[in-house]
Amino acid sequence: MHELSIIASLFEILQEKAQEQKATKIILVKLKVGKLSGVVPEFLQTAFDLYKKDTIAADSTIEIEAVPLKIRCRKCRAEVLQDDFVFICPACGSTELETLEGTELFLEKIDLEI
Amino acid sequence: MEKKELVVELDILGSNKKIAAEIREKLEKAGILVVNLLSSPGSGKTLLLERIAEAFKPNHRMAVIEGDIETERDAERIRRKGVPAWQITTGGACHLEAKQVARLLPEIPAESKFLFIENVGNLVCPASYDLGESLRCVLLSAPEGDDKPKKYPKAFVTADCLIITKSDLIPFVPFDLERAGNEALDINPRLRIFVTSALQDRGIAELARFFIERRVAMIQRHA
């Protein structure tokens, strides 16, 4: 349960961006969270709602886009969505794979009032 | 009042990753291999480090950073082996972060060849935090069961090496070594697997040799 630490890091970025923009309020925070990011979107939501009190984002909502795990085979170039964490190419059986999406833990955008 | 949409596209753990990258660059150039040990509590990380310290003695100097919620106990155990050790007590936090390691760097003796970081016992949260290690090892003790890799994929996907511990207990607990290995290789085909028993001194010499080889490879990369 390290979602609260993640949210603390998120708020460091939010405060910095709000200051840069001279914003009075943050109204929406949008995240992209990969299946292999190691965090649970539901817990991020709870942690965000706890943390936002008495901050510039007190009245904001958080939107979390879950990103599935997408891998590409270096041998046959097949791209597949992988749900069960098996890192073997279903097309050719190769284990030479690269992860295209699904590890991200990104702050995508913020809606502000200035 | 004006409403503005600001596209940010920033990694939330970007500041941790940046500090970790700085640690890695600095210590790799100094010839120190940093090893991050991840596992659930009680899987045998500290005892394994005690055995590695014995195997390394006196040629390969090592230092240890211990992460725990509370107490100096693990650092004291390591110090009794003549190895410099620092304890980070997180006071409740479930993982170590790169900035905590960075603060201790000035204390690490320059002649060290290895820095082992024993993360807080937890197979979930530490997996998300890069500590600047050059090698990440995940430990799985036989009594925990052979079904853990797919239940905790992040730890196994991000690891370079899997160390099965307490292998002396395999005859007494439901743990299929082949199944554990295959499951781990399914989710991370590059994983190097070591089977150890700290009590019966099995697999320790091979593991120590692997750490030494990895350090040599690291030095060659920077030459």
- The structure tokens listed for B107 are 């204390």
Q: Return the residue of A nearest to B15 by Cα.
A: A9
Task: Quickly state the pLDDT bin for B58 (edges 50, 70, 90).
Answer: confident
Which CATH number, 3.30.70.3150, 3.30.830.10, 3.40.50.300, 3.30.870.10, labels domain B14-222? 3.40.50.300
| Residues sharing a CB contact under 8 Å with residue A106, sequence separation 6 or more, in sequence order | A31, A32, A33, B9, B10, B11, B12
E-assigned strands of A1-114? 25-34, 61-67, 70-73, 79-81, 97-101, 105-113
Of B10, B94, B154, the CB nearest to A36: B154
Of A21, A38, A109, the CB nearest to B127: A38
Amino acid identity, residue B97? E
Question: Is-contact B123 B158, C-beta < 8 A?
Answer: no
- The structure tokens listed for B27 are 């210590």
Q: What is the mean pLDDT of residues A71-87?
A: 88
Residue A22 lies in a domain: yes
Query: Which residue is it, tokens 């085909």?
Result: B189
Under an 8 A CB cutoff, do B125 and A6 touch?
Answer: no
Count how many domains chain A has. 1
Residue A42 lies in a domain: yes
Model confidence pLDDT, tens digit, residues B173-214: 999 999 999 999 988 999 999 999 999 999 999 999 999 999
Name the pTM for this structure: 0.92
Residue A48 lies in a domain: yes
Task: Quickly state the pLDDT bin for B218 (edges 50, 70, 90).
Answer: very high
CATH code (residue A51):
3.30.2320.50
- The structure tokens listed for B206 are 């091979």
Residue A85 lies in a domain: no
Amino acid identity, residue B72? E
Residue A52 lies in a domain: yes
* Three-class DSSP category at B162: strand
Domain that holds residue A14: 3-67+102-113
**Res. A1: pLDDT tops 80:** no
Distance of alpha carbon B87 from alpha carbon A98, whole angstroms: 37
Give percent of chain B above pLDDT 90: 86
Q: What is the mean pLDDT of residues B61-80?
A: 93
Residue A61 lies in a domain: yes
How far A1 CA sits from the closest chain B CA (Å)? 6
Q: Where are the domains of chain B?
A: 14-222
Contacts of A104 in chain B (CB under 8 A): 11
> Given this model, what pLDDT does residue A75 score?
92
Contacts of A6 in chain B (CB under 8 A): 12-13, 128
Of A27, A88, A112, the CB nearest to B189: A88
Residue A28 lies in a domain: yes
Residue A37 lies in a domain: yes
Under an 8 A CB cutoff, do B12 and A6 touch?
Answer: yes
Residue B133: CB atoms within 10 Å:
24
Model confidence pLDDT, tens digit, residues B128-138: 999 999 999 99
